[in-house]
Amino acid sequence: MPTKLLPANSSLDHLKHQAKDLIRQHALREPSIAQRLREFHPSLRRATDQEIFSTHLTLSEAQLAIAGEYGFASWARLKHHIEKPSLSDNLALPHHERIEDAIFRHAVNLIDAGDVSGLSLLLKENPSLIHQRVLFEGGNYFRNPGLLEFIAENPVRHGTLPPNIVDVAVILLEASPEHTSVNDTLGLVVSGRVPRECKVQTPLIEVLCKYGADPNSPVQTAVLHGEFEAVHQLIRWGAQPDLPILAALGKTEDSLKYLPLSDSGQRHLALALASQYGHTEIVRALLDAGQDPNRYNPPGSHTHSTPLHQAALAGHLSVVKLLVERGATLDTKDVIWQGTAADWAQHGGKTEVESYLRELFPAGPRSRKDNAG
């Protein structure tokens, strides 16, 4: 689920009121509140709606969830960001300009410039640099990257990569970064548009896998972002597709074979992905197997929305009709922008889908959605 952008002149008192509102909303047992808590309260990530509503939500727990919604690991970190901001807390700056450590920032500048010789020399002079990390907060990923993660240009900082970025990657990999950093970098590469647009996504996947990255670790991330060429590359390097991946790829026959062998979590994710990418027969099979079309999507799959929201946004009319026929409610709103599936279709310019949904559910004001999906 995307994190919220913290306003420039945020008030801690206002955020405290948000936490109190969350407690009141929790008492009303709204499914969207359960979804927010599941996403942003660490101890509730695998809890059911019933388990969440049965939990006594204290003010400190509500504050923790509010902090998570804004991309902070704790209420204390959010409080520090507001009361004693530093350079790294300036969310208006691109990430490399928020780095306070001069040597680390110089290394990132060398990466961005494709300066292989300068980077090699700096790493020889500062061998511990390859294991150093920087702390970024206010987002839902790239919170604690090492040097290697900066080769992916994800999040976007410049909108381009140097032509020799693979050579830069090798220099960093030869310096023996932590294995988690190699895996995290692969996840950033396969889910980022800049590596693909610069035609270096495939060679970066290859070099990272050669240096030990696990091709299974980022497959779901690549699928979620529609980076299907990256998905196929990961499979070539040994990634094993499961039901959700097969459902996203539209592999109907293979999906039907895997369906009886898959657990409820895999089926839930498969329904979300098959709906997002318009694979009607796979959606039908999952519904036949008992999947609920009204559940919010699971972690790792646009958790602020339902399968109907995603199908409507993408304009998959046959999937939309099937979900509605199987009981998908038309007035369910997404967690962030409070839009119905019809609103999402409107935002995506899918007029045929929007007309179909509006005719079925004309009542109620249309929610304005400037950032759907």
**Displacement of CA 279 from its chain's centroid (Å):** 21
SS3 137: coil
**SS3 (DSSP) at 158:** coil
Identify the sign of the CA torsion 153, 179, 191, 234: positive
Percent residues over pLDDT 90 in the chain: 79
Lowest-confidence range among 77-86, 106-115, 240-249, 322-331?
A: 77-86
Question: What is the pTM assigned to this prediction?
Answer: 0.84
Residue 246 has pLDDT above 90, yes or no: yes
- Answer whether 95-236 and 244-360 agree in fold: yes
Ranges of each domain in the chain: 12-85, 95-236, 244-360
Mean pLDDT across 123-152: 94
Question: Average pLDDT for residues 174-184, to the nearest whole number?
Answer: 97
pLDDT band for position 5 (50/70/90)? Answer: confident
Q: Which residues fall within 8 angstroms of residue 304, CB to CB, at 6 or more apart?
A: 1, 2, 35, 39, 296, 297, 334, 335, 336
Q: Give the C-alpha separation, 211 to 361, whole Å.
A: 54
Rounded to an integer, the average pLDDT of 31-36 is 88
Q: Given this structure, which CATH class describes domain 95-236? A: mainly alpha
pLDDT in tens, 198-234: 999 999 999 999 999 999 999 999 999 999 999 999 9
Instruction: Work out the average pLDDT over 243-270.
Output: 96
Give the Cα separation of 225 and 232 in Å (integer): 14
Q: How far is CA 84 from CA 89, 114, 277, 325, in A?
A: 9, 35, 44, 53
Percent of the chain with pLDDT over 70: 97
| The CATH number fitting domain 244-360, selected from 2.60.200.20, 1.10.10.410, 1.25.40.20, 1.10.3720.10 | 1.25.40.20
pLDDT band at residue 41 under the 50/70/90 scheme: very high
Nearest CA to 272 out of 256, 287, 257, 258 is that of 287
Region 6-32: what's the mean pLDDT?
89
**pLDDT for the residue numbered 363:** 58
Would the pLDDT of 343 be above 80? yes
> Which of 36-40, 69-73, 228-232 has the largest mean confidence?
228-232
pLDDT for residue 301: 85
The confidence score (pLDDT) of residue 182 equals 98
How would residue 117 be classed by pLDDT, with cut points 50, 70 and 90? very high
Q: Long-range contact list for 17-20, CB < 8 A, 24+ apart?
A: 18/66, 19/59, 19/62, 19/63, 19/65, 19/66, 20/59, 20/62
